[in-house]
Homo-oligomer: A and B are copies of this chain.
Amino acid sequence: MNTFGNIFRLTTFGESHGPAIGGIIDGFPAGIDIDLDLIRSEMNRRRPGTSLLTTQRNEQDEVELLSGVFDGKSTGCPIGFIIKNTDAHSSDYNELKEVFRPSHADFTYQMKYGIRDHRGGGRSSARETACRVVGGAFAKMLIKAKGIHVAARISQVGSTILSGTDDEQFQQYAKIVDEVRQKHDSIGGIISCTITGCPIGLGEPVFGKLSASLASAMLSINAAKGFDYGGGFDGVGLKGSEQNDPFVCENGKIHPHTNNSGGIQGGISNGEDIYFRVAFKPIATIAQPQQTVNNNGDAVTLVAKGRHDPCVLQRALPVVESMAAMVIADHLLMKQTNSII
């Protein structure tokens, strides 16, 4: 269950404070130019320690590719990679060894497995998403070859819907998050993502709908609480006559005139932009005292040490894009099996 995808498959391993995290990308087609700069820049987007708005843990997150690439191209063989954990301060977590932090996975892991690596959240740490970004970078190389582009943006932080230019939106975001940080609290929000250039026909009925794959991908991200696409939750107030997308034919090309469907009809992409939203809860770790219990059920007051983000959204952008890119890459390859070639 640490594998994602059907044909393009990412399998990951690793805990926050182990020697390394890593993964294996299987099913990556042969002959694709490997863009090391893209991997690096994507990792930097997710990397902690780049501003006061994110955790101060300082990981270089250098990705070591161990296989599957030869002479700068993919060989069709699995791509193994590792990312060393170089700035893990495990001692920060000693006091947490027997404490169940509120709304973290400490309790559920302990109860499920009877054992857990408590350091930094172990396997349940968002550090794991670094491997998704590696997988996503490879997926982006693949889908770019078909003219497909994935772009995520923060559309809401807390209750505030962001608007204006990119720069204005970032200023709004930074201001809100900084206020929260100073109050030793955390805040959630919504990421909106658009996939452009997606060909018609991705998605496999009935359980492998493109929308179902995207939903699964997004809800597998730490702190994600919701997913919708097209009209989504807000669109339920419209009537059928208002929401339907009539088809037109322009320049010999049939396509829907409006796009309330969000680019997916019957679970299959229809050639229009695919757009969806992901809701993220506020991060569970906050820099203020919280009441909880330890393994024995004794009440304890928790004061977080460690280094944590007051808001996950900025660093989640490349994660959302990565998961979306992997879904599209996987469905692109599956589509190639829809007929004999």
In the assembly, what is the distance between CA of A250 and CA of B43, in Å? Answer: 44
Which chain B positions have C-beta within 8 A of A261? Answer: 103
- 1/0 per position for A123-139, CB-CB distance to B under 8 A? 11000100000000000
Q: How far is the CA of A336 from the CA of B7 in the complex (A)?
A: 11
Copies of this chain in its oligomeric complex:
4
| Count of residues in A whose CB is under 8 Å from the partner chain | 157
Task: Say yes or no: is A170 at the interface (Cβ < 8 Å to chain B).
Answer: no
| A188-208 Cβ-contact flags toward B at 8 Å (1 or 0) | 111000000000110111111
Q: Say whether A246 faces chain B, with CB atoms less than 8 Å apart.
A: yes
Q: Is the CB of B80 within 8 A of A13?
A: yes
- The CA-CA distance from A261 to B288 in the complex, in Å, is 20
Q: Is A54 an interface residue (CB 8 A)?
A: no
Beta-carbon contact of B265 and A80 below 8 Å: no
* Contact between B1 and A24, CB atoms less than 8 A apart: no
Contact between B243 and A281, CB atoms less than 8 A apart: yes
B338:A266 contact, CB within 8 angstroms:
no
- Mark interface residues in A1-35 (1 if CB within 8 Å of B CB, else 0): 11110010101111100111111101101111000
A84–B27 alpha-carbon span in the complex (Å): 23
Q: How far is the CB of A175 from chain B (nearest CB, A)?
A: 16
| A44 within 8 Å of B (CB atoms) | no
Q: Does A146 contact B (CB under 8 A)?
A: yes
Residues A135-185 near B (CB distance < 8 A): 142, 145-146, 156, 158-159, 180, 183, 185
With A128-B206, A212-B217, A247-B293 already in contact, 8 other A-B pairs whose C-beta atoms are closer than 8 Å: A2-B26, A2-B78, A13-B68, A70-B116, A102-B245, A158-B237, A188-B237, A233-B233
